Amino acid sequence: MSYGSKPLVRTPPFVDYGTNTGSEAVPMTERSLMWRIAGGSGDGIDSTSQNFAKALMRSGLHVFTHRHYPSRIRGGHTYVEVRADSEPVRSRGDGFNFLLALGDSFARSPDEDAYYDNEELKPLVEHFDDLNEGGVLVYDSGFADEEDIEAVGLHERAEAEGWHVYPVDLRAIAREHGREVMRNTAGVGATAALLGMDTSYFEGLIEGAMSGEVMEANLTILDQAYQAALEFEFTHDLRVPDGTHEQEQALVSGSNAIAYGALDAGCRFISGYPMTPWTDVFTIMSQNLPNFGGISEQVEDEIAAASLAIGASHTGVKAMSGSSGGGFALMSEPLGLAEMTETPVVLVEAMRAGPSTGLPTKTEQADLEHVLYTSQGDSSRVVTAPGNQFEAYEQTRELFRIAYEYNLPAILLYDQKLGGEMRTVPASFFDREPDPAPGAVLTEDELSEAAHDAAGKYKRYATDGAEDGVNPRSVPGQKGGRHLTTGNESMAVGHISEDPDNRNAQVDRRLRKLDAIRTELDEQETSHQTAHGPPEATHGLLTWGSNQDTVFEAVDRLNARGHEVKALGVSDLMPYPELEVEAFLESVEACLVVEMNATAQFRGLTQKELGRFGPKLSSLLKYDGEPFEPGEIIDGFEANVEQTGPPTGNIKLVPGAGD
CB of 456: closest distance to other proteins in angstroms? 9
Give me the least distance between CB of 258 and other proteins, in Å please.
Answer: 11
Using the minimum distance from each CB to other proteins, give the nearer residue, 214 or 303. 303
Q: Which residue, 166 or 429, has its beta carbon nearer to other proteins?
A: 429
Minimum distance, C-beta of residue 183 to other proteins, in the bound complex (Å): 26
SS3 491: coil
Q: How far apart are CA 326 and CA 354, in angstroms?
A: 9
Number of residues that bind other proteins (CB under 8 A): 77
Site for other proteins in 302-361 (CB under 8 A): 303-305, 307-312, 314-319, 333-334, 337, 341
Subset of 369-428 contacting other proteins (CB under 8 A): 427
- Cβ 102 vs Cβ 39: under 8 Å: yes
Reduce the DSSP state of residue 269 to 3 states and report it: strand
Q: Does residue number 457 form part of the binding site for other proteins (CB under 8 A)?
A: yes
Contact predicate 531/568, CB 8 Å: yes
Question: Alpha-carbon distance 99 to 128, whole Å?
Answer: 10
Nearest distance from C-beta of residue 308 to other proteins, angstroms: 4
Q: Which of residues 273-292 bind other proteins (CB under 8 A)?
A: 288-292
- Distances 437 to 33, 285, 313, 402 between C-alpha atoms, Å: 44, 19, 13, 11
Hey, which residues between 233 and 252 contact other proteins (CB under 8 A)? Answer: 248-252
Q: Where are the alpha helices (DSSP H) in 210-271?
A: 212-230, 254-264
- Shortest separation between residue 109's beta carbon and other proteins, angstroms: 40
Q: 183, 188, 114, 176: which is closest to 144 by C-alpha? A: 183
Q: Which residues contact 486 (CB under 8 A, 6 or more apart)?
A: 340, 341, 494, 495, 496
Q: Which is nearer to other proteins, 50 or 363 (CB)?
A: 50
Closest CB 391 distance from other proteins, rounded Å = 16
CB of 487 to other proteins, least distance (A): 5
Pairing type for strands 382-384 and 572-574 reads antiparallel
Instruction: Return the DSSP state at 289.
Output: G
CA 385 to CA 310: how far, in whole Å?
Answer: 22
Q: CB of residue 266 vs other proteins: minimum separation in angstroms?
A: 6
* Piece of 13-21, 149-157, 360-368, 490-498 that binds other proteins (CB under 8 A): 490-498
Measured over the CA atoms of residue 643, residue 646, residue 651 and residue 653, the dihedral's sign is positive
Per CB under 8 A, the list member of 74, 179, 479, 561 interacting with other proteins is 479
The reply to whether 301 sits near other proteins by the rule CB under 8 A is yes
- Between CA 396 and CA 258 the distance in angstroms is 6
Q: How far is the CB of 388 from other proteins (least distance, A)?
A: 15
Residue type (1 letter), 413: L
DSSP string, 586-634: HT-SEEEEEESSSS-HHHHHHHHHHS--GGGEEEEE--SSSPPPHHHHH
Which amino acid, residue 116? Y
Q: Considering only residues 558-577, where is the footprint of other proteins by CB under 8 A? A: none
Residue 308 or 411 with smaller CB distance to other proteins: 308
Asked whether 66 and 72 are in contact (CB, 8 A), the reply is no
For 395, phi and psi rounded to 5 degrees?
A: -75, -30
Segment near other proteins (CB under 8 A); pick from 79-87, 296-304, 522-530, 644-652:
296-304
Q: Which is nearer to other proteins, 67 or 318 (CB)?
A: 318
Q: Which of the residues 598 through 657 are near other proteins (CB under 8 A)?
A: none
Structure-derived torsion over alpha carbons of residues 598, 601, 606, 609, reported in degrees to the nearest 10: 150
In 3D space, the residue among 101, 117, 96 whose CA is nearest the CA of residue 43 turns out to be: 101
Using the minimum distance from each CB to other proteins, give the nearer residue, 317 or 511.
Answer: 317
Q: Give, as one character, the DSSP assignment of residue 120.
A: G
* Closest CB to other proteins among residues 125, 270: 270
Q: Which one of 22, 162, 274, 436 is in contact with other proteins (CB under 8 A)?
A: 436
Name which position in 433, 449, 467, 501 contacts other proteins (CB under 8 A): 433
Identity of the residue, 404 or 552, whose beta carbon is nearer to other proteins in the bound complex: 404
Residues 250-269 that bind other proteins (CB under 8 A): 250-252, 256, 260, 263-264, 266, 268-269
Q: Which of 25, 26, 73, 455 binds other proteins (CB under 8 A)?
A: 455
Distance of closest approach, residue 241 Cβ to other proteins, in angstroms? 20
Q: How far apart are CA 587 and CA 132, in angstroms?
A: 37
Contacts (Cβ under 8 Å, ≥6 apart) of 513: 380, 406, 407, 408, 468, 469, 470
Smallest gap from residue 37 Cβ to other proteins (A): 20
Three-class secondary structure assignment of 360-414: CCCCCCCCHHHHHHCCCCCCCCEEECCCCHHHHHHHHHHHHHHHHHHCCEEEEEE
With respect to other proteins, which residue has the nearer C-beta, 298 or 644?
298
User: Closer to other proteins at the Cβ: 82 or 250?
Assistant: 250
Which of 212, 293, 562, 645: binder of other proteins (CB under 8 A)?
A: 293
Interface with other proteins by CB under 8 A: which range of 219-227, 295-303, 507-515, 553-561? 295-303
Site for other proteins, residues 23 to 62, rule: CB under 8 A: none
Spatial distance between the Cα atoms of 45 and 38, rounded to a whole number of angstroms: 7
Region class of 143: left (phi > 0), else alpha (psi between -120 and 50), else beta:
alpha
Q: What mask of x and - would describe binding to other proteins in positions 493 to 532, judged by CB under 8 A?
A: xxxx------------------------------------
Question: 591 pairs with which residues across the strands?
Answer: 540, 617
The answer to the question of residue 477 lying near other proteins (CB under 8 A) is yes
Q: Exposed, middle or buried, 18 (CB in 10 Å: 0-12/13-18/19+)? A: middle
Least CB distance to other proteins at residue 336 (A): 8
Nearer to other proteins, 137 or 289 (CB): 289
CA distance 323 to 488: 26
Is there binding between residue 294 and other proteins (CB under 8 A)?
Answer: yes
- From the CB of 307, what's the least distance to other proteins, in Å? 4
Least distance to other proteins, CB of residue 113, Å: 41
Nearer to other proteins, 424 or 559 (CB): 424
Residue 374 or 606: which CB sits closer to other proteins?
A: 374
Verify binding: residue 478, other proteins, rule CB under 8 A: yes
Q: Which one, 168 or 304, has the nearer CB to other proteins?
A: 304
Tell me how far, at minimum, the Cβ of 206 lies from other proteins, in Å.
Answer: 16
d(CA 90, CA 31): 14
Least distance CB 289 / other proteins (angstroms): 8
When asked if residue 487 is in the footprint of other proteins (CB under 8 A), the reply is yes
